[in-house]
Amino acid sequence: MIKVGIVGGTGYTGVELLRLLAQHPEVSVEAITSRSETGVKVCDMYPNLRGHCDTLTFSEPDARKLGALDAVFFATPHGVAHALAGELLTNGTRVIDLSADFRLRDADLWSEWYGQAHGAPELLGEAVYGLPEMHREKIRNARLIAVPGCYPTAVQLGFLPLLEAGLIDAQQLIADCKSGVTGAGRGAKVGSLLAEASESFKAYGASGHRHLPEIRQGLNDMQQSPVGLTFVPHLTPMIRGIHATLYSQLTTEADDLQTLFEQRYANEPFVDVMPAGSHPETRSVKGNNTCRLAVHRPAGGNTVVVLSVIDNLVKGASGQAIQNLNLMFGLDETLGLNAPALMP
């Protein structure tokens, strides 16, 4: 049994980790931390976990106790994993970070976008970006995983086959993305209130969003040179889900984009290329670790439109983190993640 801990367990990604790990046959959650909720039973805060986590109680972070575990998830705001990751790694504990702390390889670029000095630049060289569809073999041998963000996951999986095949103009990429309000976290914010977000739709971060350098870094890796990307996120009045509409221009004749996508993802357990002409819905991945894709070529022209949907809390966060855990410990990659999506 793999013994794990969760640092920062009171947010949406923390409770989603618990929900998914509760049905994982090879994992035991031994510790979950929260400075503000120390002493509170997890099932009292989250009644949906009654009968699954009845003996688990929030506690103060203790590096000694966490360092005795096989792996520790960080479901924390940026900057927190910097302080503890090094000590845990020294003790032989593997670290799976769901925050942005280790996603960018350039410490100065991270500081520019997150407004503070990077707290552990010496660890960036060994951090593995946890997108299994690109880095599966590196993940298997990793000690430190940077779990991709939700928008970056949907965007990168949508563009990946096209960039790898060299079919599109990499300087004219557009990612028009929509997210449910859980993407903003569980903290009380006016913009996330029901009366503010319901029956409304808005863009934000159009002049620059923190996920932009992460997406660029991943797309650059796909074609080994810098890309040109316009990324505009939007807030939609739904709880979960991300829908990314991706635009690019063909630079060479491409006879069968549908086959290209189907072949690229044929052996990927959590990417579903839908039949030609499909329009995937966010509700089709609710609570599920799948990214559903559809590729279109409107009117047979040079514009390619890729539709990509994920659950921002699962494939965009906690589910992908568990997918990484499975790979790191030599388990079946799909273990604990095979439940179908919730509909309606």
SS3 state of residue 27: strand
Domain ranges of the chain: 2-126, 151-312
User: By C-alpha distance, which of 24, 330, 103 is closest to 4?
Assistant: 24
- The average pLDDT across 92-109 equals 97
DSSP state of 240: S
For the cut 90, the answer to whether the pLDDT of residue 214 exceeds it is yes
Going by C-beta distance under 8 Å and a sequence separation of 6 or more, which residues neighbour residue 115?
Answer: none
pLDDT of residue 191: 78
What is the architecture, at CATH level 2, of domain 151-312?
Answer: 2-Layer Sandwich (3.30)
Fold of the 2-126 domain: Rossmann fold (3.40.50)
Angstrom CA distances, 174 to 189, 245, 254, stand at 29, 8, 19
Burial of 210 (0-12, 13-18, 19+ CB in 10 A): middle
Tens-digit pLDDT profile for residues 122-178: 999 999 999 999 999 999 999 999 999 999 999 999 999 999 999 999 999 999 999
* pLDDT band with cut points at 50, 70 and 90 for residue 35: confident
pLDDT of residue 305: 98
150 is catalytic: yes
CA 100 remoteness from chain centre: 10
- Longest alpha-carbon distance in the chain: 62
Burial of 250 (0-12, 13-18, 19+ CB in 10 A): middle
- The average pLDDT across 21-45 equals 93
* pLDDT band with cut points at 50, 70 and 90 for residue 230: very high
For the cut 80, the answer to whether the pLDDT of residue 1 exceeds it is yes
pLDDT of residue 281: 98
pLDDT of residue 10: 87
Of 43, 150, 177, 291, which residue is the catalytic one? 150
